[in-house]
Structure 1
């Protein structure tokens, strides 16, 4: 599952059903329950009471960790970006590695994050509520990640007439696994991630004769 992150607002109150059987923290149980309900029942149709009940909590305990439903959604959205962003920051320091290999590694890891896990959290990007100011933090993280894609494309010597468009295409291709997963959930996420990274490198101008070597270097970086 996509990791869920964020700082706690305080120590949780007692559960409605005793200690967590999952071994997770109260906050993690809330995020896991919300991930399931938001992606199956829908965000609008899910109440904080339903999330609390699914997590085995009193509703008051949920509010001790999250201000409300938007707070939970923001944490879930940020969890779909933060691991890839941390990897991108690390790859930016890998000066001994070719930019094309670093780009493949980032595309592959990002696609695997979005394609894997029990819940298609990336589908939450499409919610109209995500345009609200509350989600500015998520949009900043996503914009920073996209900039790393653009920087790697430029360093890889992409010959695009418009490098901004090329970056949009590569970033959009990676995020398209969200829709593919929704339409065909039985797809193998690892194969999908590999194919997405290969396709992204082709968009970046990497020829078939180089792709195998770039892929090998990318796997080493991961």
Structure 2
């Protein structure tokens, strides 16, 4: 028998797709997020990700190239929404810079800690230093620069020299990204409360 031209590319699924209303690529990302943060990136195989998403390992490669692509997209997903927020706040010159800096800190912490999986812990992976993750590092650098510009626009930041501004930015940005470790040790703390307290602390560090 010949093969019909309407045949779908990819192999059939191993099991029924989980009833989460997600497309296959989104299912793979959800599965990878769960496994990378619970089992660890190195210990998670592509087969485990595929099976968790309800498909054969061979079918997985119809949607993604492998673990690195999944990790790269998960990493960028922890930054790009905050970067969008930062761009809007930078443009909102009608609000005091202190208010805008506080709002960015709050929103960023909620993003890092508010999902079903603590994706921020993926920042700590040694694999993330590889060139493959240059896209993540680029958006992260732009976000950090937005923090720097907002700190510089505050009354206290305007009095700092370049060295002082760079140091305050490093400290504030380090605090925001460091919340992933605090949140991991106290996952029951309400994220909104945690985000507000962290934003308050960030403004004190900035001198605002």
Relative to the length of structure 1, the TM-score reads 0.84
**1:159-192 residue CA offsets vs partner (Å, 9 max, x unmatched):** 4451000000111111111110122222221111
Computed over aligned residues only, the root mean square deviation of the Cα atoms, in angstroms, reads 1.5
- Is the 1:12–1:26 contact (alpha carbons within 8 Å) kept by the matching residues of 2? no
Long gaps (5+) in structure 1: 1-10, 207-222
Other-structure match for 1:22? 20
CA shift, 1:133, in A, is 0.5
Q: Structure 1: how far apart are the matches of 2:150 and 2:21?
A: 39
- Is the 1:12–1:65 contact (alpha carbons within 8 Å) kept by the matching residues of 2? no
The structure whose RCO (Cα within 8 Å, separation 6+) is larger is 1
Picking from 143, 146, 160, the partner of 1:145 is: 143
SS at match of 1:30: helix
Q: Structure 2: how far apart are the matches of 1:183 and 1:18?
A: 35
Deviates more, 1:157-166 or 1:41-50: 157-166
Other-structure match for 1:6? none
Q: Trace 1:56-75 onto structure 2 (pairs within 5 A).
A: 56-75=54-73
Other-structure match for 2:53? 55
Q: Structure 2: how far apart are the matches of 1:153 and 1:86?
A: 17
**1:17-69 residue CA offsets vs partner (Å, 9 max, x unmatched):** 34551101111110111111001111010000000000101212211121111
Long gaps (5+) in structure 2: 1-8
Runs of 4+ off more than 2 Å: 11-20
Q: In the comparison of the two structures, how many residue pairs are matched?
A: 196
Q: Structure 1: how far apart are the matches of 2:171 and 2:143?
A: 14
Other-structure match for 1:173? 175
Deviates more, 1:46-55 or 1:185-194: 185-194
Relative to the length of structure 2, the TM-score reads 0.89
